[in-house]
Amino acid sequence: MPDYTCQIVEWVKEKATIPVIVKLTPNVTDVTYIARAAVNGGADALSLINTINSIVAVDLDTFAPQPSVGGKSSHGGYCGPAVKPIALHLVSAVCGDAKVKIPVSGIGGISTWKDAAEFIALGSATVQVCTAVMHYGFRIVEDLIDGLSNWMDEKGHRTIEDFRGRALPNVVKWEDLDLNYHLVAKIDHATCIGCELCWVACEDGAHQAIRRNARGNGGPVVEIIEEACVGCNLCSEVCPVQGCITMESMPSGAAPVTWKQFTAGKGKLAPRSEHFHTATFGPKP
């Protein structure tokens, strides 16, 4: 409830003699409403995210959720590397909110200097680390500092402010993305081990844009059908060989057009082959 957030922050601010940093939970529908309420209550800064409500497992012999306390459990707080994408999104939402003009401390899954730099690039003024310190000890902080500092030297950033928030303008609504930006998967046949995982994923979970060839004829086991590929990335995610499937941009030859513009009758979609629209389950070798 944003109203309660505002009220509680006001109470704390009335008595506090030091700056008040309000920590936000991710367990809400839209964190920006809570962030604004904390700002309205007088918060000096915000931090996010706290842990995500979760049940990690159920013992199928006893039906006790894990970890079990005498056969019972409660939801726990999910944290660590798995929550980083959620935290980055929520930090970007708060830092990109014009009504939030106070510093934000980014938290959630930070365990390397790169993680820290990403949070800062999305607007965090500071970062915090919990799980990684519990896992590797406080010494990990020295590694974060060294790594961040080396990268900043390499890029010519003198202070954090030189790159803080630089990624924020690139976070847009999906309807503002260019529909004529075409990506196509490319397979490096020299490193492909012929496991066919990409074929399975594309055939059953994407656009049937990978051809599976008969083995033993000396040719590649799998090939991308470029005109059917929608650039969804799935094959590159499942390929077990690092760098074997890359996503490459293919100039569509058409001017950029967003969904918003297209549905308002402005701009044209680049032509696509019939195969792109009608890819179906093909014959199996």
Ligand X SMILES: Cc1cc2nc3c(=O)[nH]c(=O)nc-3n(C[C@H](O)[C@H](O)[C@H](O)COP(=O)(O)O)c2cc1C
Residue 100 sits in the site that holds ligand SF4 (CB under 6 A): no
Q: How many residues bind ligand SF4 (CB under 6 A)?
A: 29
Q: Do residues 244 and 198 touch, judged by C-beta distance below 8 A?
A: no
Closest distance to ligand X from the beta carbon of 38 (Å)? 14
Closest distance to ligand SF4 from the beta carbon of 182 (Å)? 11
Q: Do residues 220 and 213 touch, judged by C-beta distance below 8 A?
A: yes
d(C-alpha 130, C-alpha 17), whole Å: 26
Closest CA to 45 of 134, 121, 112, 125: 125
240 backbone φψ class: left, alpha, beta (φ>0; ψ -120 to 50)? alpha
Residue 51 sits in the site that holds ligand X (CB under 6 A): yes
Q: Which of 2, 80, 147, 165 touches ligand X (CB under 6 A)?
A: 80
Closest distance to ligand SF4 from the beta carbon of 220 (Å)? 8
- Give me the phi and psi of 263, to 5 degrees please: -75, -15
Given the complex with ligand X, which of 31 and 257 has the nearer CB atom? Answer: 31
DSSP assignment of 188-226? -TTT-----HHHHHHHHHS---EEEPPTTSSS-SEEE-G
Interacting positions 124-183 with ligand X (CB under 6 A): 129-132
Amino acid at 124: S
Window contacting ligand SF4 (CB under 6 A); options: 14-22, 43-51, 130-138, 195-203: 195-203
d(C-alpha 122, C-alpha 135), whole Å: 25
Beta bridge partners of 104: 46
Chosen from ligand SF4, ligand X, none, partner binding at 79 (C-beta under 5 to 8 Å by type): ligand X
Residue 188 Cα distances to 121, 233, 277, 285, angstroms: 32, 15, 26, 22
Closest distance to ligand SF4 from the beta carbon of 236 (Å)? 7
What is the separation of C-alpha 92 from the centre of its chain, rounded to a whole number of angstroms? 11
Closest distance to ligand SF4 from the beta carbon of 269 (Å)? 18
Q: How many residues bind ligand X (CB under 6 A)?
A: 15
Show the binding pattern over residues 215-254: x = contacts ligand SF4 (CB under 6 A), - = does not.
------xx-x----xxxxxxx---x-x--xx---------
Closest distance to ligand SF4 from the beta carbon of 281 (Å)? 13
Q: Do residues 78 and 53 touch, judged by C-beta distance below 8 A?
A: yes
Q: Which of 83, 148, 167, 198 touches ligand X (CB under 6 A)?
A: 83
Q: Which of 195, 250, 254, 270 touches ligand SF4 (CB under 6 A)?
A: 195
Closest CA to 179 of 264, 88, 97, 238: 264
Residue 91 sits in the site that holds ligand X (CB under 6 A): no
Chosen from ligand X, ligand SF4, none, partner binding at 51 (C-beta under 5 to 8 Å by type): ligand X
Q: Which of 79, 140, 187, 257 touches ligand SF4 (CB under 6 A)?
A: 187
Q: Is 227 helix (H, G, I), strand (E, B) or coil?
A: helix
Interface residue list for ligand SF4 (CB under 6 A): 185, 187, 192-198, 201-202, 206-207, 209-210, 221-222, 224, 229-235, 239, 241, 244-245
Interface residue list for ligand X (CB under 6 A): 23, 50-51, 77, 79-80, 83, 107-110, 129-132
